[in-house]
Chains A and B, each alone.
Chain A
Amino acid sequence: MHRNSLKATVALLLLSQTLRAQAPAGLAQERADFAHWLATAPNSPLIARAFVPVRPSVRIGPDDAEVPFPGVNVSITERSGAIALEGSLGQRALSRNRLVSIPPLNLMVSGLPGAAVAVIYGGRREEKVPTYYSFDPTLIFTGPMQAAAEPHGVRILTMDGLETDATEVGSVTIPDGGAPTRLRVYRITDPGSEESELAIYFRDGTSGSGSYPAGRFVTLQPVANGTFRIDFNRARNPFCAYSSAYPCPAPWPGNTLQSNIKAGEQYHGAGTSVPAP
């Protein structure tokens, strides 16, 4: 009897720990999708070789080129906002935000007019798999966004290192232990579509000791009637965490939580640990 009840208690404890550790199905699926994308997408940061400003021209080719890449010899130029690719087959116009295959590499030109950036993908894929803190249901917050009195434009780097014109649209207040902290919310649009994200780039007590030192991104998910869900279990690293080819977004002013947000993506890179306070 006694033995059985002990067994039951242990089983219950194990179960509750498993429940706590296991992400809900939707989140687990999102993470599996992202891992698959990192491992297979032709524009995955794990095969990013170079991230180079075009202005006004950049050459990818043999050793003396700005971007050394064996087996290729092309130039990318930007004139009056239009992108052209020149190679042995002549010149052709290139679209922004569209992956082009020039075997053995893939390349995509993105960025604002006059500030085009070429990202070159190819070669061996880094074998990195994102890791996450245990699922923590207490780090999911739902509430309204305090709209900015006058939304205004800000130039920021997106999670993939590209400069973009975002809009500061308001803020949300997070309990942050006992001292509520306001986090800025920017709207970041997806070029070429009507889609956009309301995003927060934040630092917290784990930044540099378990999570990425520069900060992590989390998005606002609309719930209903102007309220949003912020799920820190969905916090993601900027692409500079996967490849040193990418520039890292600077932390957004004021967006630092004092508490440890032990949820979402972790970082195990070298040289990022800081002494414990």
Chain B
Amino acid sequence: MGFAFFLGAVLVTGLNAQQPTGSYRGVLDLAGGPLRFSLTLNADTSSRICNGAGSCGRISPPRSVRDTLFIAIPDYAASIIAVSSGDSLLGFYRNVGNRGPRVIPFRASPGRWPIEPAPASLTGSWNATFTQDGRTSRRVFEFRNTSQGLEGTVISNTGDYGNFWGRAEADSFSIGHFDGSFVYMLTGRLDGDTLRGLFHAGLRTQTAWTAVRSRGEPWLKPPTELTTADTSEVFHFTFADPDGKIWTERDALFQGKVVLVDIFGSWCPTCHDAAPVLAALYDKYHSRGLEIVGLAYEVSGDPVVDSKQIRLYRQKFKIQFPLLLAGINDTEAAAATLPQLRGFVSFPTSIFLGRNGKIRLIHAGFYGPAMEVAHRRLIADFEKEIELLLNESH
């Protein structure tokens, strides 16, 4: 709020002609070391923060007054404020926290990061054990080399943390994810057959982990076991679309059909990964009796604002099926509006209803294209489930 006011004042004062533009090597200086990312600054809407090939987020074009640069990250009500020092930038990333501002030192210099891929001894899939305060929890790491160097993902029981990008040097590596809101970094080194390192969250949180190479055995809890539901009754919902039309499971459209209910939010990057897959499934199976309905849990709680977001989402992914405004973006809120679900944990969640309207399968989370193999396997699993349900009689 205060920052918006400040920006307004900046606009009135007038802009400096020397806007920094082009590619920058960005760094957030966390307590545990530098988190590298790529920053593209342009005067138009093409300014971006990137964590590897094809994993970029939009930021506002930079505005500078004298030697101070302001970059807004509107999706997350966050900003980067820096001063020029020679051709470099030095400052802070910040957003409004609950117990004071959340501030992390930022720096950037012109140019692109070198491409530093990992040796084959590091790439592939790893079963990780996080240990904090004597308690352990499981993750899966997937590392691969791309045209940008080392990339990877960290996967928990409920999904992945987005794309990580970084570098390797001999047996050590460091990859990070900074999208304007989440700040994650994974650092480690190979010690015999075991990877050891730290997972960094935000400025200061560090969690120790070890990992061993996956041999394909199940390591995480399957996404179909996280959320359960009352399967004895028809799945009930009643929500309005952005035009105010009320939809329920009793509508003629859904009778005798296989229905995929997609619980999503336009704010949720993983949901953006899932949307094209759902649109393709709809194209492929609609003629055989598949209906899809999206239940949106949005940010503002203001139906006018939220409806606009849903319309944009529909346009972006050319979605043919109804998208309904179900509530606010919170696992508790979703659980409250869908009382038949137990253990609702994740956006998105896909609920498969048989032709009798009862829940047959719930898949919590989604594996995005960053997770190549798991992504392809998930699409295959979804298709198998839909085929199975379509072939059942009412």
Residues of A whose CB lies within 8 Å of any CB of B are 26, 29-30, 33-34, 36-37, 39-43, 79-84, 92-98, 100, 108, 110, 150-151, 158-160, 167, 169, 187, 190, 193-197, 219, 221-223, 236, 239
Contact = CB atoms under 8 A, between A and B. Distances in A.
A37 B100 contact: yes
Given A95-B329, A195-B202, A196-B205, 17 more contacts: A29-B92, A30-B103, A33-B101, A37-B101, A40-B5, A82-B333, A93-B337, A94-B328, A151-B133, A151-B134, A160-B98, A169-B133, A193-B182, A194-B202, A195-B205, A222-B204, A239-B99
B101 A36 contact: yes
A33 B103 contact: yes
B332 to A, nearest CB: 5
A100 B306 CA distance: 14
A150 B301 CA distance: 43
Contacts of A167: 133
Contacts of B132: 187
B205 A40 contact: no
Given A151-B133, A159-B99, A41 B2 contact: yes
A94 B101 contact: no
Contacts of B101: 33-34, 36-37, 41
Nearest to A196: B205
A223 B31 CA distance: 7
B352 interface: no
27 contacts: A33-B92, A33-B101, A33-B103, A36-B101, A37-B101, A40-B1, A82-B335, A83-B332, A92-B301, A92-B327, A92-B328, A93-B328, A94-B330, A96-B332, A110-B98, A151-B134, A158-B99, A167-B133, A187-B132, A193-B182, A193-B201, A193-B202, A194-B202, A194-B205, A195-B202, A222-B31, A239-B99
Nearest to A99: B96
A190 B96 CA distance: 13
B133 A222 contact: no
Contact of B31 (A41, A42, A221, A239): A221
B201 A96 contact: no
Contact of B301 (A79, A100, A223): A100
Nearest to A108: B98
A195 B96 CA distance: 15
Interface residues of B, number: 40
Q: Interface of chain B, helix or strand or loop or mixed?
A: mixed
Interface of B: 1-3, 5, 31-32, 92, 94, 96-101, 103, 105, 132-135, 182, 184, 199, 201-202, 204-207, 301, 327-330, 332-337
B132 to A, nearest CB: 8
A83 to B, nearest CB: 7
Contacts of A197: 204-205
Nearest to B30: A222
Contact of B201 (A39, A83, A169, A195): A195
B27 to A, nearest CB: 16
A93 to B, nearest CB: 3
Contacts of A236: 100
Contacts of A84: 336
A222 B30 CA distance: 10
A2 B5 CA distance: 56
Contacts of A96: 330, 332
B186 to A, nearest CB: 12
